[in-house]
Amino acid sequence: MSDIAHRFPENPLLMPKDLQSSSAELQVISLLNPGVFVFEKKIWLLIRVAEGIAQKEGVIFFPVINALGKVEILELPLNNPDLIVTDARIVQYKGLDYLTTISHLRLVCSEDGVHFHEPEDSSILMGSGILEQFGIEDCRVSKIADTYYLTYTAVSENGVGVGLRMTKDWKNFEIAGMILPPHNKDCAIFEEKINGKYYALHRPSSPQVGGNFIWLAESPDGIHWGNHKCIIKTRYGLWDSARVGAGAAPIKTDQGWLEIYHGANAEHQYCLGAFLMDPEDPSKIISRTIDPIMMPQENYELSGFFGYVVFTNGHIVEGDKLTIYYGAADEFVCGAYFSIKEILSALVPLNDNNQPVSIPTEI
């Protein structure tokens, strides 16, 4: 099966060897899931840089940030009966979860949207404090008036939540702290207020009753969020049966707010889909794609740190052209473009129960 994405022939645009590690003891394992924005007439990616430790036989090393803000390396023998390492991303030890890598956010820029470089004086965003001990990940960048809102995943032994920092100049950052507590990630703030209120998509998880669904929240100030509503659920038997999560800020179209989202099945295979929200009340879902608009198919998407993954949380819109930057196989940064019209025509209308409206057959 093919999809409707037009991948850049230059993919992967960035791979781990393209950036230096943040310290001598760490090595860059993956570059992935960039937030995207335009600043001073250039295209910028705020990339998640996942770093780890060179492994030795029979031992597992994993990094954490300690109370002093320094990276500390933890070490355990692989034959330890209390250790579970069945997923490349996670270490479970004595009932506690750790990550095999620790992520920070790094800026690269480009004039043509294809060739990116890291300016010498650019800021590096590291996790800070006990809620970001295992790093910060997958940042969405939303520009409202002259302020960039950075919503990212903050990971620590306390859980996975959404952190917010704000900047106007990409040099000075205001830290708003954790705006949505665990378990929550994939938060994208709308780039315009609707009827005087800020809106955001986010993805809490409810492990026993409920699931990994996309929710909508409102805010008077872009920092304090309430009136949460569950708007998009996983679909049994489809490619997005296990979890769904928002991509970047919704795109304003003449038909409503268009959102590109990721969905995964129980085998952790990640594809992209789309849904459309009512222009005046984004809690009303007008339509949703049934098949993925993009699914892993190139080698760099099928194999890497964690294969069979396409994941986006950043894009640029120019008329009908939507350019997404995406993480492939949790290891590489790639680019692809879509026609917004083509995505809109792949959407299937939903009824009030969020079920596809059946198309009447002609008699």
In the complex, least distance from residue 49 CB atom to ligand MAN, rounded to whole angstroms:
12
Measured from the CB atom, the residue of 11 and 103 that comes closer to ligand MAN is 103
Measured from the CB atom, the residue of 109 and 329 that comes closer to ligand MAN is 329
Measured from the Cβ of residue 114, the count of other Cβ atoms closer than 10 Å reads 14
Measured from the CB atom, the residue of 133 and 323 that comes closer to ligand MAN is 133
Cα–Cα distances in angstroms (integers) from residue 253 to residues 192, 248, 277, 345, in the given order = 13, 15, 10, 13
Measured from the CB atom, the residue of 89 and 284 that comes closer to ligand MAN is 89
Measured from the CB atom, the residue of 191 and 331 that comes closer to ligand MAN is 331
Contact 85, 106 (CB under 8 A): no
Measured from the CB atom, the residue of 53 and 285 that comes closer to ligand MAN is 53
In the chain, what's the furthest Cα-to-Cα distance?
A: 73
Could you tell me how far CA 169 lies from the centroid of its own chain?
A: 23
In the complex, least distance from residue 239 CB atom to ligand MAN, rounded to whole angstroms:
17
CA 201 – CA 215 distance, rounded (Å): 6
In the complex, least distance from residue 158 CB atom to ligand MAN, rounded to whole angstroms:
12
Measured from the CB atom, the residue of 26 and 155 that comes closer to ligand MAN is 155
Q: Spell out the residues 6+ positions from residue 99 whose beta carbon is closer than 8 angstroms to its own.
A: 62, 89, 90, 91, 134, 135, 155
Measured from the CB atom, the residue of 165 and 185 that comes closer to ligand MAN is 185
Q: Which residues bind ligand MAN (CB under 6 A)?
A: 89-90, 99, 137, 153, 155, 160, 185
Measured from the CB atom, the residue of 32 and 322 that comes closer to ligand MAN is 32
Please give the structure tokens belonging to residue 175. Answer: 């830290």
User: What is the DSSP secondary structure assignment for residue 26, as one 8-state letter?
Assistant: -
User: What is the DSSP secondary structure assignment for residue 69, as one 8-state letter?
Assistant: S
- Output the CA angle 334-315-241, nearest 5 degrees: 80
In the complex, least distance from residue 198 CB atom to ligand MAN, rounded to whole angstroms:
24
In the complex, least distance from residue 29 CB atom to ligand MAN, rounded to whole angstroms:
11
R_g of the chain, CA atoms, integer Å: 20
User: What is the DSSP secondary structure assignment for residue 11, as one 8-state letter?
Assistant: -
Measured from the CB atom, the residue of 185 and 288 that comes closer to ligand MAN is 185
Contact 193, 181 (CB under 8 A): no
Q: Spell out the residues 6+ positions from residue 257 whose beta carbon is closer than 8 angstroms to its own.
A: 190, 250, 251, 276, 277, 278, 279, 282
In the complex, least distance from residue 176 CB atom to ligand MAN, rounded to whole angstroms:
19
In the complex, least distance from residue 89 CB atom to ligand MAN, rounded to whole angstroms:
4
For 266-278, give one letter per residue: b (16+ CB within 10 A) or e: eeebbbbbbbbbe
- Output the CA angle 338-343-348, nearest 5 degrees: 165
In the complex, least distance from residue 275 CB atom to ligand MAN, rounded to whole angstroms:
21
In the complex, least distance from residue 82 CB atom to ligand MAN, rounded to whole angstroms:
20
Q: Spell out the residues 6+ positions from residue 359 whose beta carbon is closer than 8 angstroms to its own.
A: none
In the complex, least distance from residue 139 CB atom to ligand MAN, rounded to whole angstroms:
12
